[in-house]
Amino acid sequence: MASERVLIVGGVAAGTSAAAKAKRTNPELDITLYQREPFISYSACGLPYFIGGWVPDHNALIARTPDQFARDGITVRTEHEVLDVDAAAGRITVRDLSSGKTFHDHYDHLVLATGAGVRCPPLPGIDLKGVFRLRSMGDGLAIKQYLAERKPASAVVIGAGYIGIEMAEAFLELGIKTTVIDMLDQVLGTVDVEMAALIETAMREAGIQIHLGAKLAHLDGDAAGQVTCACSTGAELAGEIVLLATGVTPHNELARAAGVALGPREAMLIDGLGRTNVARIYGAGDCCTVNHRVLDQPVYIPLGTTANKQGRTLGAFLGGVERPFAGVVGSSVTKFGALQIASTGMSETMARRAGYAVRSQRIESTDHAGYYPNARPMHVKLVSDAASGKLLGGQIVGYEEVAKRVDILAVALATGMTVEELAWSDLTYAPPVSSVWDPVLVAAQALAKSR
């Protein structure tokens, strides 16, 4: 009996995780992975730190190579673009980008792990030389090369989300005068405005110019390679390199053509095992929705952590083990300089939009005992359902162990804890690393008392 043939389209986080787990679970599977890029299985999240020089070699971001997959019995074909899916025939059409030849391949199971691309506004000048996106290894290498060759003295970053903030820090590290533009009235729209103000202050104090409430209108370039970004506010901001960090959109062309149902942000709708509404077609990663465990509904939150979990869950399922992925609570973390920023669940703004009557509390504490040297401020904001007291989300801005504290909140959200229950959690204490009342407990106590 012939082995079941699994074809995977996309080879960064979700696709390679699915391939590896499926082969480990059922070594008899015949697995081929198609990847448009020359690179597979790399950390896209590490690209700003490669560009900024903290990671000197891009190869450090690569987890596994095609040869390593081949040793495990998985065929990887890089620089191959999948053009079409014929769901009825169980067939895909592929173009070999190096030769230009087109061929067909048949599947018993098809995994679409096609990821996402930068959501670029269709504006004049968007494709000028010196204007970059950062989504792939190829993007990162192109930016690195441009910086080495042109040695720009000024940069404009369009978008103040995670990538925008991280790339602003990278340019600053390289001694490049940096300006950040965002159409919102705050940086990092995933947190509430008072928490965003802490980040904005740190960025401005570091020397970054920030223009908020400024929608990009068009870009103009000159012969010297300088790009001018014209904003809705009338400001014209010039940079010798421009980065578009305007959010991402799922690559759903193949899914749409195959009849796969789409959900929020037109991402593929999948269940906890990665199944779509089309037989024998599955999805994982940044092209897909994921269940939000607080809202109990599909959402689009494209993160590497989620992509890896979805890929592994799907790989196990293809190998014969059914263990559904329950979903996420929306946890994320980044940094700017020494300042760490993390959030989980819903912000107060998001919770109100979702229809909750909310209570919130923001406190300022220190990251360890105040009498121990180098204690620094830590700001914690918690959001709860006013009626039940159930925790809905949390945000922390500080300098040490921010991610650890948000991880506590993430587990509390996943288990449905109330703020009262959180307030009496048994957390660790030692003066060099925490206070006897950890900032998370202080915030939970304050919010519980406000009910």
Per DSSP, what are the bridge partners of residue 297? 292
**With DSSP H G I counted as helix, E B as strand and the rest as coil, what are the percentages for the chain, rounded to 5?**
30, 30, 40
Could you tell me if 274 and 312 are in contact, meaning their C-beta atoms sit under 8 angstroms apart?
Answer: no
Task: Return the DSSP state at 330.
Answer: -
Coil, strand or helix at 123? coil
Q: Which residues contact 168 (CB under 8 A, 6 or more apart)?
A: 157, 160, 178, 180, 203, 208, 336
Question: What does the alpha-carbon distance between residue 201 and residue 186 come to, in Å, rounded to a whole number?
Answer: 11
pTM of the model: 0.95
Using pLDDT thresholds of 50, 70 and 90, give the confidence band for residue 2. low
Pairing assessment for the beta strands 290-292 and 358-366 based on DSSP bridges? unpaired
The whole-number pLDDT of residue 451 equals 64
Catalytic one of 45, 229, 231, 288: 45
**Residue 224: pLDDT above 80?**
no
The whole-number pLDDT of residue 351 equals 97
Could you tell me if 102 and 94 are in contact, meaning their C-beta atoms sit under 8 angstroms apart?
Answer: yes
Residue type, 340: Q
Question: What does the alpha-carbon distance between residue 58 and residue 68 come to, in Å, rounded to a whole number?
Answer: 18
Mean pLDDT across 320-330: 97
Coil, strand or helix at 221? strand
- pLDDT digits 0-9 by tens, 27-68: 999 999 999 999 999 999 999 999 999 999 999 999 999 999
Question: What does the alpha-carbon distance between residue 381 and residue 396 come to, in Å, rounded to a whole number?
Answer: 6
The whole-number pLDDT of residue 1 equals 47
Using pLDDT thresholds of 50, 70 and 90, give the confidence band for residue 222. confident
End-to-end CA separation in angstroms for the chain: 65
Determine whether 119 is exposed, middle or buried from the number of CB atoms within 10 Å of its CB (0-12, 13-18, 19+). Answer: middle
Task: Return the DSSP state at 234.
Answer: S
Using pLDDT thresholds of 50, 70 and 90, give the confidence band for residue 250. very high
**Domains recognised in the chain with CATH numbers:** 5-115+249-318 (3.50.50.60), 120-246 (3.50.50.60), 332-449 (3.50.50.60)
Could you tell me if 117 and 127 are in contact, meaning their C-beta atoms sit under 8 angstroms apart?
Answer: no
**Residue 447: pLDDT above 70?**
yes
Pairing assessment for the beta strands 297-299 and 332-336 based on DSSP bridges? unpaired
Residues present in the chain in total: 451
**Range from 146-150, 217-221, 224-228 that averages highest in pLDDT:** 146-150
Q: Which contiguous run of DSSP H or E holds residue 342?
A: strand 339-345
From residue 286, give the alpha-carbon distance in Å to each of 47, 78, 135, 400. 17, 19, 11, 30
Could you tell me if 355 and 295 are in contact, meaning their C-beta atoms sit under 8 angstroms apart?
Answer: no
Question: What does the alpha-carbon distance between residue 106 and residue 104 come to, in Å, rounded to a whole number?
Answer: 7
Q: Nearest 10 degrees: CA dihedral of 446, 447, 448, 451?
A: 120
The whole-number pLDDT of residue 3 equals 87
Pairing assessment for the beta strands 91-96 and 102-106 based on DSSP bridges? antiparallel
Q: Quick one: what percent of the chain has pLDDT higher than 90?
A: 96
Q: Nearest 10 degrees: CA dihedral of 241, 53, 142, 209?
A: -20
- DSSP per residue, 43-96: -GGGHHHHHTTSS--GGGGB---HHHHHHTTEEEEESEEEEEEETTTTEEEEEE
**Radius of gyration (C-alpha) of the chain in whole angstroms:** 23
Identify whether 45 is a catalytic site residue.
Answer: yes
- pLDDT digits 0-9 by tens, 74-87: 999 999 999 999 99
**Residue 93: pLDDT above 80?**
yes
Q: Which contiguous run of DSSP H or E holds residue 9?
A: strand 5-9
Q: Nearest 10 degrees: CA dihedral of 51, 52, 54, 60?
A: -10
